Structure 1
Amino acid sequence: MDPNYIPTLTQLLEATIAPDTALIKAATTQLNTQFYKDPTCIPALYEISCTNENPSIRQLAAVELRKRISSRDGKMWKKNPEQLRQQIKDSLLQRLTNETSPIVRHSQAQAVAAIADLELATQPSQWPTLMPGLYQAARSSDKTHRETAIYVLFSILDTVAENFQDHLASLFETFSVSLVDPESAEVRVTTLRALAKVAEYIEVEDKHDIKAFQDLIVPMLKVLEKAIQDGDDEGVKHGYDAFETFLILEAPLVSKHVGDLVQFFLGVAGNKDVEDEMRCGALNVLSWVIRYKKSKVQALGLAKPIIEALLPVGTEDDPEDADEDSPSRLAFRTLDTLAQVLPPQQVFPVLTQQLQVYMAGDASMRKSALMAFGVSVEGCSEYIRPHVDQLWPVIESGLQDPEVIVRKAACIALGCLCEWLAEECATRHSVIVPILFNLIVEPATQKNACTCLDSYLEILGDDIVNYLTLLMERLLVLLENGIIAVKITVTGAIGSAAHAAKEKFVPYFDQTIQRLVPFLELQESDEQIDLRGVATDTIGTIADAVGADVFRPYFQPLMKAAFEALTMDNSRLRESSFIFFGIMAQVFTNDFAQYLPQCVPALIASCQQSETAEELDEDGSNPAQLVDAFNAAASGSKGESTWEDEDDETDINELDDMFSKVNSAVAIEKEVAADTIGELFAATKAAFMPYVEETVQVLIDLLDHYYEGIRKAAVGALFQFVKTMYELSDAPEWTPGAKVAVPLHDHVKSIAQLVLPKIFETWKTEDDQ
């Protein structure tokens, strides 16, 4: 090795962490082009990771060492002489135990795992001393040696792709000791993490290994309990992750301890001395227990103790931010899961008994009872239906309770009932609507009451005419004078009123639309953006209710506003614009065709955008492709892509981090875009034909998307394409018979032959068929 090689490499590594962007870029380029393609970088990085005085440089060198070892299935590692590779293996573990910085030690351990992934896979093993050496070090009297050995074992289990079943007996023996390490929490927690990896190697038929694993469940719970007592946030998170892994695996690793798990996590959730974040995590794991071990939960009759333990948690206060998790919110979410996966006769009778007790208690108990009633409706609706008359007084008394928190909870519960017991709720309009009218003018209950009213109006149907005048008077006052949060819910309620009233909404059209249109110019804050999106949705609903003739004066200016929203780099607004396009196409049919050259490219760009954060703006959007597509269509030219393929390797160890950056808002936007493509073809028919070939392929590409909402939208849109193409063929009415009396048009046959096999292929692999 050139004597200047290591000093030069060290200088470049130092430059990559300097506070100088230009220096970082230049150093990175030189590293990638001159060093990281040279096998000599591996022994050089190894030496730097062990000897450099700066722990940051040692850690960086260790990280890069792992990457270079794993690169291209170990080709670079194998290009080094066997004697040199052996020297690294012989000294690496010893140098690991000498490392004083835990973070450097962990990075070096991952480099060991990268070598193990290559060397243990061969027959015979090229590193036969590794595992015995680690087992021995794991029993050392030196705490640092134990911590190092257990972390290396964890890293190997996390990295090695080959079957590890031959090592399970030794691993169980080692981990049964390290789980109860009397001195090091790091050893105990890392062992728990390692066992989560071991679990993935255990097959359903491996009865001996399953038994050995089950024997460690209680000690693992004790590790987690101690981490909670010590306030070890990271250790607790790792523990929760481990138990969630055990629950989703096919092998029955925790089945004999489901009762223990339920008791443990309920205990943590109900303990107010534990940090709220840990309590929320415990409730999340409990939900997984209920969902993935529902048969055991049912067989053990655990619904009753779960409900009785969750309701007291539900009495606790919630944070102001509706998106912030809290123990009480997670308790109701867990109860929702329980009601959905267990038979209702195991859930609702117990809940009914508790409702009687809690509705007679203080305000926090009454709030908990109503929330519990509301979240249980989805899973128990058919069981509840015959008993609605007996239960209805709970809702009515809650809506008129003297305490605000109870009235708000009753509004939420009624909203749930509207969704799952719509007919039963709608028949009580003469009582409910006046109560809600009173609640929407109370500042303390306005927001919840308007949201509830929104849900109620959707199911009211023709009966809305009895209340429409007074309703619109009150809603329009709130629309002018309310705070933005109230305006958002009021705007949604107006949309529901229009949907229910249909053509009877025409007398209120002018005064309503004049108040809503200014909202389409808002863009200063997140709340204003939300209001703009809801206003766009509501205006679309109003257009559908009043029809093309009444809405026509606003058609072109509001289409322009919807197109402007596409350029605002916000997924929520693009989603609303796409929905608006779909409704306008249905209302105006052929008159909408003039907008297809602008709409379709934007929809395609949305479907093809990435959901990962590296390609998204700070707000989670990926506007470049959308704006380019929209502007190119508007100008009649083809936009140039600004995205370039990079010849970088995918680091398997960073995939979890990549998936954590997936943006759900973009995924939902893509779902809406796929739906809208189908709606545009159905509405504009022949005018859409120039776009069929490209959009069909875009939709087919979405059939294997990870997000089920996108897959569902793509399937629905493709079926709509086949249906619309058949309608365009103007075929005679089909007649049954063995012989084909009415042959399909060539266009119909072509699209069916292209689309249907793809859909059937997707159906075969779909979890929820």
Structure 2
Amino acid sequence: MDATELGIVKELLLEVQSSDNNARKEAEAKLMQVKLNNFDKYFAYMVEGFKDEELDIKARVMSLILLRRDILAGEPTEPDAWSKLTQETRDYIRAQIMEVFSKETNGVILNKIAEFAAEVAVSINDADRKDIWPDLFKLCKQLISEGNAAQITSGLTVYTESLRTMSNEIVENDADLYAMFEVTLKNENIDIALASLQAVSQLLNSVMPKYAPNFVGLLGEMVKVPMRAIKEADYKVLEDSMVEFIAMADAEPKFFKESFSDLFQVFSQIFEESEVLSETLKQQPIEFLTTIAERQPSLLSDNEDHVKQMLDSVFKLMIGIDDELTEEWLDPKDPAQVKEEVESDTVVFGKEVIDRLCASVGEEIMLPLVCILVKQTIDNDDWKYKNAGLSAFSQIAEYVSEIEQISEMIPTVIDHCKHEHPKVRHAAVHCLGQFATDLKHQLTENFHETVVPALYDAMNDKVNRVKAHASGSMSNFFEKASQDIGLHYCEKILESLLAATKSESSYVAGNAATCIASVAESCQQEFAPYFETCCNELLPVISQRVPKEFRKFKGQAIEGLTIAAVCIGMDCFRPYSEQLIKTLILIQKEHLEGSDDPQRRYILSAWQRLAMVMEKEFAPILPEIMPEFFNMASLQPKISSGTSGEDILDYLTEVENSPEKKTISIESDELEEKNIGIQMLCVFIDELKELYAPYVEKTSELFLSLLKFKYNTSIRSSTADSLPTMLTAIKECEKGLEGALPFAQSYISALFETMKGEEDTTVMQHQVSGIKRCIDIMGEFLDEDQVNQMCNIFFECISKSDHRKNINVAYNEENEQGDDEVDKQNRMFMEEENEIEDDLQLTLSEAFGALFKTHKNKCANLLNTLFNDLLPSYLDESAPFVKQKFGVYIVVDLVEHLGLEILGEKYEDCFQVIAKCSKSVNPVIRQAGVYGLGISSNSGGELFAKYSTDALQSLKEAIEMKVGTQDVVEFNHARDNAISALSKIMKFQHECIDVNSTFEFLLQHIPLKHDLTEAKLVNDFLADAATSNPNLITGKEHENIKQFVILLGEICRSDCMEENTMKKFGGVLKGLSADDKLSGPITEAFNELDELKQKRIQKITELAN
């Protein structure tokens, strides 16, 4: 060892801590050079550094920090530092650690040596998974049993750090581990007891579950640590110990199962000390119990008293807020400030706990209890109680299936929008916004007359936070509102919103701009009269540079204008397009302050929307913006990890090439941006079609190269989705079917090739969907051999999917442990995996359907395989539900696309399957069956007449079936499809049925409210029927004329009726109104409608003119 060089190294250990950047960098470079010159000597020098008691303690600590870093992470040139050292150097390091560790008295050095020793122990263990450096752990036990407080703590630190990666080996080889923990947990020095608790926590976080029960006996002493901390008022130890309990609850909840009731009371006692605790400490006992409840729900769900006590604690926490109203709360200037406040808000924490408990314990238990507490707190005169109650109430809406469950409370919430205290007003406004998000049309349709005025008044509140949040809640409301509701309130609301965009608060201005976008989306093309005003108000704002806190608002204003442009259409937007585009280009080139400027994402999204509205007129802008999007989509992200600056993608490449290769998917802002770039290119392709020709080759190469992008599943999925879009553009780029053929073959081959190595089932589903869409686009372009090859791959994919499902099922069967909630969660995970596999198989059934549709004369082998091998087992009553679903979908596709002509005698077999399914008690199977009956009425021709009576009876039974225990959403869609099928039979097979009685039955069960696609079909059928014979709907003597007017007020909405259908109904109503005998009843019925429904009637009569 060179003494001179050693002296230099010791000096460098101080210089690397210099406040002078240049001096520090120079010292780092010199140390790196020493390492590169002689790796072993470098480590020896570092060891001599921490040994030297005369050396400045900062230098000694630095030597240990550098040693630990090099052992832990290595360097890009030496990633496996320990194995690169000679045996002599390794022995030397171990010997010196043992020597210094046994004699050192300085607590700081001891702690750093302990951390370094643990890393060396882990490195030794990693070499052969057997050697656990027994001498080190023997010394640790000696220090723990005989040493002073610092030595005991450092010995426990070695265990804590080592247990992170070698817990199983330590447990298997150390018979005294339990006794050591038991003694140290009882140590009168609370810091030692905490160190012991931390070691046990690390063990439970790392060890195999089978070993955890061996340490349950320690739980009593473990719990005493936080209780002692409370008694000694040592809140730092209390916080640290609670952190460990929360970590253990998450990692090994079964550890606490047998003692949960006792623990519940102990941790409730900690909460009772909340008056002297910090906000964090108040939350930790609740966080611990909530974490346990999430992992083992039955521990709470089986004890309602525990649930009530838990909710009482949560509400107490939410009520215990400060009286002070700071200026920062009342008038936040920057949205980022609001986000920071929310993240630390105890009320928000309480709301999240209620949400988590509803999700885990179950809404059937939680909702009644929460509602009782909500009512009690809202009725209390104290504003803090009201604030807590309203905040809690907002959290339960997503668990409410029918608004009637909470409808009586909504007026109370609305009343509190005018409460004297701003936090109560804020909570009430938030509650309405959350209801709008979770209850959607149920709220907007039934409560718009009271909710919108309440939020409108709040938008003019004297407190900016309330004002801003009111705009946000109004935005939520109009996102879910129908067009006629949007139009009803648009003009009045828009005036206030535009005024708010001039606010000195970027929070107020930004939320107002976002709400303008939501109103425009609600009104759609009818927003056109208001667009000019919006442009006049907002274009001057976005054209200027703004302070940092207003950059997001500027982006939101851009978003509002471009969303509105999409809604009103190009004809209305054209006069303003040039000015807006010039402004956006100006911002993109001159106003952006780096890649993290919030305006940037808004600008990029704006181009996407403008492409959607301008379509081919957008082509001249492409040269200005395409380089940016190609850069985004082809970006090679650089993501650093740790102090070494290693690139994660380089690291993952090593993992990818290792024998233990596993599926990898990482997330980062750069990867998200790459994915956004791909999706935006797709929008340009979709809208510009043949005008995208100059970029076809480059984009095609890019997409094909990204199909196997191994680091991110979303990018692989997006690329698979993008290829069909690309194919559509190529087909229209004056190439036609023949010119697109090579691309189609290339894309499908590439998708099949990537499927072979794909391990993520969701990505596989996107790949199959991509193939299916390519087939839809190209039509009949494959020969029979290619169809057969494709089908064989699809069948192989189904087989592999079944194999993966069987593995998951076998795991669940092997791990069936009664009511063990952790095992239940593991089984639920496996079930979720199988649900994804089911989605893949259903997508494969759609791919088969595409082949039936486009290659019907080349499916002979496919049909043989289906009828002889697959369908008999899939349609068997004992088959799993998803198999039956797959089989029914295939059969319906066969009937729809191949029909009687190709199926021949097999058609009747298919019809019998469909008829049977239409009577199923399972709503999903029944929906497919009744849909198939409707399709058969068209494709079955004269054969259908043979079964028409039975078909009608089946549909009537399906329509009149009671929901019972069926899933409500699935039931409603099945019912709507049955009604639609009935209308199809009347349309295509009216000769063989009693039209009048069937029509009368149909009228008794409309309108359709759930499957709006089918609603449009049924409503168009009704319009045609009423046009040809009004008496069918109004009655022979027009006795049902009032009901007809009421029906029109209900169904004449853009979401469930096309404009052409509205014209038809308008014409019918106009013709009936011309009859003097009917005009009076029509007017009388019209006057009984509310204002919104009257506007609907007026609109259809105007369309008929």
What's the TM-score bracket when you normalise by the shorter of the two chains? Answer: 0.7 to 0.9
Deviations 1:178-201 (A, max 9, x none): 12211241x222222222321244
Residue 392 of structure 1: CA displacement?
2.1
Correspondences of 1:542-691 after superposition (within 5 Å): 542-551=564-573, 552-561=577-586, 563-564=588-589, 568-570=594-596, 572-597=598-623, 599-603=625-629, 605-606=631-632, 608=635, 610=637, 669=673, 672-686=676-690, 687=692, 688-691=695-698
2:318 maps to 1:314: yes
CA distance in 1, matches of 2:117, 2:228: 30
Structure 2 equivalent of residue 243 of structure 1: 245
Correspondences of 1:391-430 after superposition (within 5 Å): 391-427=409-445, 428-430=447-449
2:485 maps to 1:463: yes
Correspondences of 1:191-206 after superposition (within 5 Å): 191-204=196-209, 206=210
Correspondences of 1:85-234 after superposition (within 5 Å): 85-86=90-91, 88-96=93-101, 98-120=103-125, 122=128, 125=131, 127-140=133-146, 142-158=148-164, 160=166, 163-167=169-173, 169-185=175-191, 187-204=192-209, 206=210, 209-227=211-229
The letter of the residue matching 1:199 is L
Query: How many residues were matched structurally?
Result: 710
> Structure 1 stretch 37-46 or stretch 288-297: which is displaced more?
288-297
Structure 1 equivalent of residue 386 of structure 2: 366
Query: Which secondary structure does the structure 2 equivalent of 1:173 belong to?
Result: helix
The letter of the residue matching 1:490 is A
The letter of the residue matching 2:745 is D
CA distance in 2, matches of 1:335, 1:232: 30
CA distance in 1, matches of 2:269, 2:520: 48
Identity of counterpart residues, as a percentage?
17
The letter of the residue matching 1:140 is E
> Structure 1 stretch 587-596 or stretch 495-504: which is displaced more?
587-596
Residue 348 of structure 1: CA displacement?
0.4
Residue 496 of structure 1: CA displacement?
0.9
Structure 1 equivalent of residue 727 of structure 2: 725
CA distance in 1, matches of 2:642, 2:626: 22
Structure 2 equivalent of residue 19 of structure 1: 19
**Alpha carbons 1:113, 1:159 under 8 Å: kept:** no
* Cα distance, 1:748–1:2 mapped onto 2, change above 3 Å: closer
Residue 74 of structure 1: CA displacement?
5.9
> Structure 1 stretch 460-469 or stretch 408-417: which is displaced more?
460-469
* Cα distance, 1:615–1:107 mapped onto 2, change above 3 Å: closer
Query: Which secondary structure does the structure 1 equivalent of 2:442 belong to?
Result: helix
Q: CA RMSD in A?
A: 3.7
**Alpha carbons 2:649, 2:711 under 8 Å: kept:** no
Structure 2 equivalent of residue 38 of structure 1: 39
Structure 2 equivalent of residue 50 of structure 1: 51
CA distance in 1, matches of 2:727, 2:667: 34
Which entry has the higher C-alpha Rg, 1 or 2? 2
The letter of the residue matching 1:589 is E
CA distance in 1, matches of 2:186, 2:369: 39
**Alpha carbons 1:192, 1:242 under 8 Å: kept:** yes
* Cα distance, 1:438–1:81 mapped onto 2, change above 3 Å: closer
Residue 311 of structure 1: CA displacement?
1.4
The letter of the residue matching 1:190 is A
Deviations 1:729-753 (A, max 9, x none): 479xxxxxxxxxx999324424533
* Cα distance, 1:544–1:649 mapped onto 2, change above 3 Å: closer
Query: Which secondary structure does the structure 2 equivalent of 1:253 belong to?
Result: helix
Query: Which secondary structure does the structure 1 equivalent of 2:406 belong to?
Result: helix
For normalisation by structure 2, the TM-score amounts to 0.59
Query: Which secondary structure does the structure 1 equivalent of 2:594 belong to?
Result: coil
Query: Which secondary structure does the structure 2 equivalent of 1:467 belong to?
Result: helix
Deviations 1:619-648 (A, max 9, x none): xxxxxxxxxxxxxxxxxxxxxxxx998999
> Structure 1 stretch 591-600 or stretch 492-501: which is displaced more?
591-600
5+ residue gaps, structure 2: 330-336, 653-665, 734-740, 765-828, 837-1105
> Structure 1 stretch 134-143 or stretch 463-472: which is displaced more?
134-143
The letter of the residue matching 1:166 is E
CA distance in 2, matches of 1:465, 1:649: 55
CA distance in 2, matches of 1:494, 1:24: 54
The letter of the residue matching 2:393 is F
CA distance in 2, matches of 1:679, 1:256: 57
CA distance in 2, matches of 1:81, 1:751: 50
2:546 maps to 1:537: no
Deviations 1:655-707 (A, max 9, x none): xxxxxxx99766765564454344333333451523434542675466644xx
**Alpha carbons 2:615, 2:687 under 8 Å: kept:** yes
Residue 10 of structure 1: CA displacement?
1.0
**Alpha carbons 1:377, 1:420 under 8 Å: kept:** yes
CA distance in 2, matches of 1:665, 1:174: 46
**Alpha carbons 2:543, 2:587 under 8 Å: kept:** no
**Alpha carbons 1:729, 1:748 under 8 Å: kept:** no
Residue 177 of structure 1: CA displacement?
1.5
Residue 470 of structure 1: CA displacement?
1.4
Structure 1 equivalent of residue 474 of structure 2: 453
Residue 567 of structure 1: CA displacement?
5.5
Structure 2 equivalent of residue 5 of structure 1: 5
**Alpha carbons 1:440, 1:449 under 8 Å: kept:** yes
**Alpha carbons 1:114, 1:159 under 8 Å: kept:** no
* Cα distance, 1:566–1:743 mapped onto 2, change above 3 Å: same
Structure 2 equivalent of residue 341 of structure 1: 360
The letter of the residue matching 2:407 is D
CA distance in 1, matches of 2:676, 2:231: 46
* Cα distance, 1:550–1:649 mapped onto 2, change above 3 Å: closer
Query: Which secondary structure does the structure 2 equivalent of 1:4 belong to?
Result: helix
**Alpha carbons 1:59, 1:107 under 8 Å: kept:** yes
Structure 1 equivalent of residue 396 of structure 2: 376
Structure 2 equivalent of residue 620 of structure 1: none
Correspondences of 1:73-88 after superposition (within 5 Å): 79-80=85-86, 82=88, 85-86=90-91, 88=93
Query: Which secondary structure does the structure 2 equivalent of 1:442 belong to?
Result: coil
* Cα distance, 1:760–1:385 mapped onto 2, change above 3 Å: farther
**Alpha carbons 1:682, 1:720 under 8 Å: kept:** no
**Alpha carbons 1:39, 1:80 under 8 Å: kept:** yes
The letter of the residue matching 1:563 is Q
* Cα distance, 1:694–1:26 mapped onto 2, change above 3 Å: farther
Query: Which secondary structure does the structure 1 equivalent of 2:254 belong to?
Result: coil
* Residue 308 of structure 2, aligned match among 290, 304, 308: 304
CA distance in 1, matches of 2:280, 2:179: 33
Residue 47 of structure 1: CA displacement?
1.6
Residue 231 of structure 1: CA displacement?
6.5
* Residue 496 of structure 2, aligned match among 474, 480, 495: 474
**Alpha carbons 1:117, 1:161 under 8 Å: kept:** no
Residue 421 of structure 1: CA displacement?
0.7
Deviations 1:214-243 (A, max 9, x none): 222343233234446666666455434433
Structure 2 equivalent of residue 66 of structure 1: 68
CA distance in 2, matches of 1:600, 1:216: 64
CA distance in 1, matches of 2:252, 2:135: 33
Structure 2 equivalent of residue 636 of structure 1: none
Deviations 1:298-354 (A, max 9, x none): 234443322222112112337835322132221111112112233211110001111
* Cα distance, 1:584–1:233 mapped onto 2, change above 3 Å: farther
**Alpha carbons 2:118, 2:162 under 8 Å: kept:** yes
Query: Which secondary structure does the structure 2 equivalent of 1:502 belong to?
Result: helix
CA distance in 1, matches of 2:196, 2:759: 44
Query: Which secondary structure does the structure 2 equivalent of 1:485 belong to?
Result: helix
**Alpha carbons 1:453, 1:493 under 8 Å: kept:** yes
Structure 1 equivalent of residue 875 of structure 2: none
* Cα distance, 1:534–1:165 mapped onto 2, change above 3 Å: same
Deviations 1:275-302 (A, max 9, x none): 1132344444444333333343323444
